[in-house]
Amino acid sequence: MTKDIATPGRTKEILEKHGFSFKKSLGQNFLIDVNILNQIADAAGTNENDGVVEVGPGIGALTEQFAKRVKQVEAFEIDGRLIPILEDTLSPYDNVTIHNEDVLKADVKNVINEKMHDVHEIAVVGNLPYYVTTPILMKLLEQRLPVTRIIVMIQKEVADRIAAKPASKEYGSLSIAVQYYSNASTVTIVPKTVFVPRPKVDSAVLKLEIRKTPPVHVKNEEFFFKVVRASFAQRRKTIWNNLQHNLLGKERKELLAQSLKQAGIEPQRRGETLSMEEFANLSNELYDFTSGLSSL
Ligand code: SAM
């Protein structure tokens, strides 16, 4: 039986055998701790009837753990230099397909629909490249993929912002965007020492349980997110100032005053104190007043 890929010794051996050099620009920090990989795999809650979509397999450390646990793994890796290495390291497993593609451009939904009908539940997993964490997560969520949960390693600071509750200093438009689609929580904090090369910041494993329906009713999603982003544009400003300066303009003061009143929100409050429900009420009120205004 071969040794796990994610031990310091075996990883070094694989990298040397293939003469691989890390590309910082692709966020390449490989995991060398099997315990952490097992925690990610446990959090995914998958079994032998399930499927996994992996973002950024690297040399296959996490891929291997899922290949052992689930029916099928579809992995997206942007770096063509890693493809022959993955063919080598994952050769003991016949249930893994590697797509040499940028996950931001790939049609993940189509791969799931075409290739994963035989699986029960699907989880998305990955030790994400930190330079594109948020775009990757938002793409996966906005596409409304037929997946049960997303388990990813990301920077701790971003995980804190994603899972934040109202009135905390981390709470902002990213918390609302992600929590609109999912129930977010941190599984564990991960030290820098379990990666090669070591990143500058601590990491965390984030769990997103995908919601079947959003937790609030919004009349227009695009407009709702516009209101949320504008409300946090300058954190120290009130909701009144932010929405006036960043969405509506001074000439629509009256409309803003009426909408806030209808939604029961004091104009002097800051965005960070509003719950998702309050943002939904406010955006629905504003939408009723402004739906004819194409400039917004
Ligand atoms: N899963 C491996 C591990 O844990 O050891 C590698 C994780 S490393 C943090 C991120 C991986 O994502 C790298 O292999 C990198 O080449 C790949 N990657 C970076 N940008 C990507 C993108 N846009 N689409 C797909 N893969 C990407």
Give tens-digit pLDDT for 87-118. 999 999 999 999 999 999 999 999 999 999 99
DSSP 183-238: EEEEEEEE-GGGEESPPSS-EEEEEEEEPSS-SS--S-HHHHHHHHHHHTSSTTSB
Domain boundaries, the chain: 8-210, 221-290
Cβ of 158 below 6 Å from ligand 1? no
Summarize pLDDT for 277-288 with one digit per residue, the tens. Answer: 999 999 999 998
User: Is the model's pLDDT at 292 over the cut of 60?
Assistant: no
Q: Ligand 1 pocket test: pick from 79, 82, 83, 192 the residue with the most ligand atoms within 8 Å of its Cβ.
A: 79
Mean pLDDT of 69-96: 98
Predicted model pTM: 0.95
Closest atom, ligand 1, to C-alpha of 76: 25
- pLDDT value of residue 202: 96
Give the three-class secondary structure for 76.
strand
Percent of the chain with pLDDT over 70: 97
Cβ of 66 below 6 Å from ligand 1? no
Say how many Å lie between the CA of residue 293 and the centre of ligand 1.
42
pLDDT band at 180; cut points 50, 70, 90: very high
Cβ of 28 below 6 Å from ligand 1? yes
Q: Let me know how long the chain is.
A: 296
Distance CA 75, CA 82 (A): 12
Give the three-class secondary structure for 256.
helix
Q: Indicate the class that CATH gives domain 8-210.
A: alpha beta
- pLDDT value of residue 1: 58
Contact 271, 235 (CB under 8 A): yes
Provide the CB-side half-sphere exposure for 276 (13 A, CA).
22
Closest atom, ligand 1, to C-alpha of 106: 24
pLDDT band at 3; cut points 50, 70, 90: confident
User: Is the model's pLDDT at 234 over the cut of 60?
Assistant: yes
User: Is the model's pLDDT at 147 over the cut of 90?
Assistant: yes
Percent of the chain with pLDDT over 90: 94
CATH (residue range 221-290): 1.10.8.100
- pLDDT value of residue 290: 78
Output the CA angle 205-84-43, nearest 5 degrees: 20
User: Is the model's pLDDT at 293 over the cut of 80?
Assistant: no
User: Is the model's pLDDT at 251 over the cut of 90?
Assistant: no
Per-chain mean pLDDT for the chain? 96
Give the three-class secondary structure for 55.
strand
